[in-house]
Amino acid sequence: MAQKKQTVQKEQKGGKVGAVGITSVISAILFFIAYLMGWVDVSVEGVSGPETEGSGQSTVQKIGELDDYAEDELRIHIIDVGQGDSIFIQAPSRNILIDAGEEGYGPTVMGYLDRLGVDSVDVIIATHPHSDHIGDMDYVIKNLRRVGVVYTGEMPESAIPTTRCYENFLNAIIQKDADFKFATIGTSLKLGENSSLKFVGPVEPFEEYNNNSLVCRVTFGSQTFLFGGDSSKEAEELLLKKGTDISCDYMHVAHHGSSSSTTQEYLDAVDPKYATISCGEDNSYGHPNSSVVERLEKKNVEYYRTDISGNIVVVSDGESINIFTEK
């Protein structure tokens, strides 16, 4: 269920073997007997999660064990960009980049794509104008060989940003001669046979940027995946009120696990088996918030955090999910 930081303490060596040593040996023997009898649980802290039918407890694997991408699967790469968001999705007929992290993380995103052999992105989604999501999007756009179309959310005229990072983002799109579109709720993009991405939120434009985040739901085979940018409880409430289908097998937790997002009612409607959280190590915001972590754990959601696991890859064959982590 939980993924927690692990502290390993080294035992001091030296000294004569005496009563303490004999006691340790006896304890070890008793523990081994208990383990053989199934009386103790020796699962590794940080990678436990809900039991899957017929397979026992799920097991995390390392990214280095991944084979090359096969076109009959979906891969969701949660790129570690510190206290920001960047997600790359490989689908059978299209690839998608959702956000690109804070200014200075463009080389990190491009380096990750280079290692995948990717120099062209079909769809870029800028969920909202905050710099921890689009701060270095201009760098990524400029350094890609080709960009197909860029989507962002429509905003009230009074809320259109005048920040340097947003202007750089728009200028990069123009220089790359990429298509630029405001996402229309209900619009669906085909990603391959039995696979699509649908924009499901926000239900209505917000002046507040977090709530105006684009919310996307990906379908691949019989499985679904939800991405919510930095959507907060106000936007979540509207999705619930409208009756939007936000149920999924996997969700990327909104707003880095902030207490302003992922309310209990919303999480109950999403009802994921797996989740990921993008947050910086020892970040000043205290993300993820303990209340969100508690809600995930009470629902037995298997979740992973970039501040602990580094890069994370979610792999689906349309029927099952496997998780791979860098650390």
**In CATH, what class is 61-325?**
alpha beta
Q: What is the mean pLDDT of residues 302-312?
A: 98
pLDDT in tens, 126-174: 999 999 999 999 999 999 999 999 999 999 999 999 999 999 999 999 9
Q: What is the mean pLDDT of residues 209-229?
A: 98
- In this predicted structure, the answer to whether residue 184 has a pLDDT above a threshold of 50 is yes
Can you tell me the distance from the alpha carbon of 55 to that of 32, in angstroms, rounded to the nearest whole number? Answer: 24
Instruction: Give the bridge partners for 313, in sequence order.
Output: 77, 324
- In this predicted structure, the answer to whether residue 327 has a pLDDT above a threshold of 60 is yes
Domain ranges of the chain: 61-325
Buried b (16+ CB within 10 A) or exposed e, 241-280: eeebebebbbbbbbbbbbbbbbbeebbebbebbbbbbbbb
Taking the alpha carbons of 250, 242, 151, 258 in that order, is the dihedral positive or negative?
negative
pLDDT of residue 3: 58
For 286, phi then psi, to 5°, come to 75, 25
- In this predicted structure, the answer to whether residue 22 has a pLDDT above a threshold of 80 is no
- Global confidence as pTM: 0.83
pLDDT of residue 60: 85
